[in-house]
Structure 1
């Protein structure tokens, strides 16, 4: 399966034609994997965002070192990062299977499309929301203590320490860096092997 969308319809396989008419997000699996890799890589921003919080926010919100404090929001970012990373690797594997052949049969085409759509949903929705919302909450302290007080009045505690889930911003950043680079490297290897 080609990553190039400039083919004439007569040059496309049956799978490509059915996929073009029925897939939810009209990108190739390899391009979707790259987006998932970028989302996972964004998870690596958790530690830098927390490390650059103003001193007044660090004093008001943390009892210990901010990078080593287990935070519920860091767990949200980690969940999004892992979802995006795994979905990206799954999309790379799907791309490799389709490129390697044989072309899927009529019944298998729909199974492959369902797998692609499921991986896209996991990567874009679960990964995107987890990383986006989590990083936004982690960054909320950059607007000052007043912004944190406003969030708390609305029932949101962005720096809630959760000792039962030992996920720190440092751990989240490490996983984001590894997952994002692994997916992006897999997309390069998948293209080079064709």
Structure 2
């Protein structure tokens, strides 16, 4: 499991592209924050992403060789870290860079040694992950899964998903 000073408060949502992970997070996060929880998220992407803009000062700092560049405004700050290696940072490293929270929800990171909810839509024609990926504790789905030995939750019921997360992780 990921070594972190906040054990039991990390949960990854995993599933095939198009399964509804982001939409479910959008619906579950407000329900968890309404319980008074501080929720932070991490998103894994398989493709190159650069939210900075070519020509802007922060972009120029990074291109010039800065390892870290922070862009700060009144509304938010963004920390860009160039890891300039072929290796992706692991979940534990990323979590170590984040401020304390009650719950960290990771979208993706299916290889990370943390508890996971699988979002599975049989209509996508993709096989379920739960038989082959360790750490999956429940499946959130839009169809009956009679062969699944894990708890199943209705994808259309974000309240039940939020309740499961809070109960399973021992959150208030």
- TM bucket normalised to smaller: under 0.3
Greater share of strand = 2
Greater share of helix = 1
Structure having greater relative contact order (Cα 8 Å, sep ≥ 6): 1
TM-score (norm 2): 0.21
TM-score (norm 1): 0.20
Q: Give the structure with higher Rg (CA).
A: 1
